[in-house]
Structure 1
Amino acid sequence: LNATRAAVEEGIVAGGGVALLRASANIKATGVNADQAAGINIVRRALQAPARQIAANAGAEASIVAGKILENKGATFGYNAQTGEYGDMIAMGIVDPVKVVRTALQDAASVAGLLVTTEAMIAEAPKKESAGGGGMPGGMGGGMGGMGGMDF
């Protein structure tokens, strides 16, 4: 229901990551220095990630799928991961609300900006896995330990 409301508010774009993939191909900005160029390339790759991940999850080769989509100049041409076919995403009913795509992109940029400007970050350390059990601990007799009151 929320997706329908969002679509009514701002419209729809081709789904399956196609709109973001096409946006990545249309980035014409160039960096003034190496840091800016690296940032632009990071954004370009991030925009390609949803379409690539959907293809990979469907068992297809992500780079081939992305390449075929970008070769075709149709704005709504994409890959249907369910059927493995290429075609008009809107005609196939694979759409995303513009509001959802825009909000996700804005939120991702906001978090990335925070990470770039943060001087220190705290993350939870991974927990070490203990070694597997090596038999009965010393001092316990046979039988099922911890079963008090079962001495007959």
Structure 2
Amino acid sequence: ALNATRAAVQEGIVVGGGVALVQAAKKLEGLKGANSDQDAGISIVRRALEAPLRQIAQNAGVDGAVVAGKVRESDDPTFGFNAQTEEYGDMFKFGVIDPAKVVRTALEDAASVGGLLITTEAMIADKPKKEEPAPAAPGMGGMDF
């Protein structure tokens, strides 16, 4: 909490709950790349910017696609979904805020990792482990038929 407060003092605050990222995604509407690959990249970034809001809604037991659609369609840049109360409204009035520095650096870091994965020809990941089903419970002494 102390570091979040310091970050807020340094660069200010934005509406929280993923709403600031949805607002950023709206700015990409109509943006065209120089080729189809760039257009695909723009589309991926737009979808990725909505992912935090969708996940917050799903964690609250609400359909993330519906919540993202309502927030995206609103003309009010502070309009969002309060997952704690399951209400829509002004995120500043709800007290749902994020330090701008935290949102900015998260976006920069995600873009950096995405760029590395695109330009890397190989990636190392853990091999998925197949878990065997648990064995049947033994007899309970005198309860065998």
Q: Please say whether Structure 1 and Structure 2 have the same fold, judged by a TM-score greater than 0.5.
A: yes
Give the distance between the partners of 2:137 and 2:19, measured in 1 at CA: 56
Match of 2:132 among 130, 133, 142: 130
- Tell me how far 1:10 sits from its aligned partner: 0.2
Give the distance between the partners of 2:20 and 2:4, measured in 1 at CA: 17
Give the distance between the partners of 2:137 and 2:103, measured in 1 at CA: 55
Counterpart residue identity of residue 24, structure 2: A
In structure 2, the partner of 1:116 is 118
- C-alpha deviations, 1:108-141, integer Å up to 9, x for none? 00000000000111111112223544799xxxxx
Normalised by the size of structure 1, how large is the TM-score?
0.84
In structure 1, the partner of 2:3 is 2
Counterpart residue identity of residue 41, structure 1: S
Normalised by the size of structure 2, how large is the TM-score?
0.87
Q: Aligned residues: percent identity?
A: 64
Are residues 134 and 97 of structure 1, via their aligned partners in 2, closer, same or farther at CA, if it must alter by over 3 Å? closer
Are residues 120 and 80 of structure 1, via their aligned partners in 2, closer, same or farther at CA, if it must alter by over 3 Å? same
Counterpart residue identity of residue 11, structure 2: E
Q: Which has the larger radius of gyration?
A: 1
What is the RMSD of the two structures over their aligned residues, measured on CA atoms? Answer: 1.6
**Greater helix share, 1 or 2?**
2
Give the distance between the partners of 2:50 and 2:93, measured in 1 at CA: 22
Aligned length: 136
Identify unmatched segments of 5+ residues in structure 2. Answer: 139-145
Give the distance between the partners of 1:65 and 1:11, measured in 2 at CA: 26
SS in 2 for 1:90: helix
Are residues 124 and 77 of structure 1, via their aligned partners in 2, closer, same or farther at CA, if it must alter by over 3 Å? same
- Tell me how far 1:56 sits from its aligned partner: 1.1
- Tell me how far 1:31 sits from its aligned partner: 1.9
In structure 1, the partner of 2:64 is 62
